[in-house]
Amino acid sequence: MQFEMVMPKMGESITDGTVIKWLKNIGDVIEKDEIILEISTDKVDSEIPTPVSGTLVKLLAEEGETVDVGVTIALIETENIDTAMSIAEKTVVEEKVATVADDKPQTTQTVEKKTLQNKESNRFYSPVVMNIATKNNIDFAQLETIPGSGLNGRVSKKDILNYLENTKGKAAQESSTHSVSSSGPVEIIEMDHIRKSIAKHMIASKQTSAHVSLYAEVDMQNISTIRERNKEAFKKKEDFSLTYMPFIAEATILALKEYPMLNASIDGDTIVLKHFINLGIAVAVENGLIVPNLFNADTLNLRGLSRGINDLALRARTKKLKPDEISNGTFSISNFGVYGTSIGFPIINQPQVAILGVGAIKKRPVVINDAIAIRPILYLSLTIDHRLIDGAMGAQFLQRITQILEDYDPKLNV
């Protein structure tokens, strides 16, 4: 019996997904819930598990191909696993001759494609690749030399287009009188899906909001004392470290309750005031930055915030986030201080109207009661949308966060 695995629905607003990479090959025995492929939506990259156990016998979507939600992307044999390899081999053969077995009237281009496909080859070429090869006068010998990044070395659309681009570049270099090194002075790297989304989102934010930035110094001595006293017991119970971020998140939530306009958004000429707090926590991932949301963060205590922030970071870095977790945030925090940066001014995460930037905590000399002392100092920055938040309100909000952080009881047990 064959099970049809479909492109999953990753969120309410998601209608399709792009296959990034197949992690299993035809003929592989797979267990239920084992990761089988990576897909990308317009919001997040995700690893997708198989819903059944069995043997993978056919792939119906190529790497780089965008497929609608609900469309079959793979066939899994759930019975007779011992004979699944022969089924898989048969499938490969059927794919290789698929473009030949056609009784319909043939155009010249169709004949040319079939002639290419009939050549002896250990690789399968999709109709899309064959069509590009034919249009660009790439013969079979050339086609065989193109490195394939797809499953089992399969040449994808991206591979053949890169080959054509590189070929044009080499031709231009040969006709030029300038001397160029063999590696080339410029490397062209195509943006991946997430990087394109980030670029689009950031430009849209700068074009939409009137960005104004403020910053404040925070004495983190009390919180540092709390962390030092609680860190061993906390780590033993939770299996992850107690960081400064839950304290900053809690202070931000308390300040947002006092200054609700910073938790709002703008819709045309109206203000959308939200009586809940979905706190976005920016997480650096392999191919960029992602901001998953801690929903209803205002209902969580300090330990709950610690668990939620840690969970979001882990799932963001292991591609376990759901696209809906990237949407509907009301306020965001970006912690660039983890890399040692003292201060920065992040771009607002639309459609929000403000974002808090967290710098590195470093020991600095400060004046306390007319005496110089060494304290762990944090620089907090706040970027506001001046269409809604005036400088006075932004400054008051930032100072309220500062006050809450400095006033933590050093004897607090977490």
Q: Which residues are catalytic?
A: 386, 390
Residue 159: name the closest of 142, 176, 175, 173 by CA: 142
CA 31 distance to own-chain centroid: 26
Task: Tell me the chain's radius of gyration from C-alpha atoms.
Answer: 28
Strands 35-40 vs 16-22: parallel, antiparallel or unpaired: antiparallel
Residue 273: name the closest of 326, 324, 330 by CA: 330
* Residue for token pair 């897909």: 39
Residue 332: name the closest of 283, 300, 291 by CA: 291
Strands 279-281 vs 331-335: parallel, antiparallel or unpaired: parallel
Burial class (CB in 10 A: 0-12, 13-18, 19+), 229: middle
E strand residue ranges, 339-391: 354-358, 362-368, 371-385
End-to-end CA distance of the chain: 54
Residue 234 DSSP SS3 = helix
* Residue for token pair 């470093």: 362
E strand residue ranges, 7-91: 16-22, 29-30, 35-40, 45-49, 54-59, 66-68, 72-77
Burial class (CB in 10 A: 0-12, 13-18, 19+), 69: middle
Contact 7, 71 (CB under 8 A): yes
How far apart, in whole angstroms, are the C-alpha atoms of residue 30 and residue 19?
19
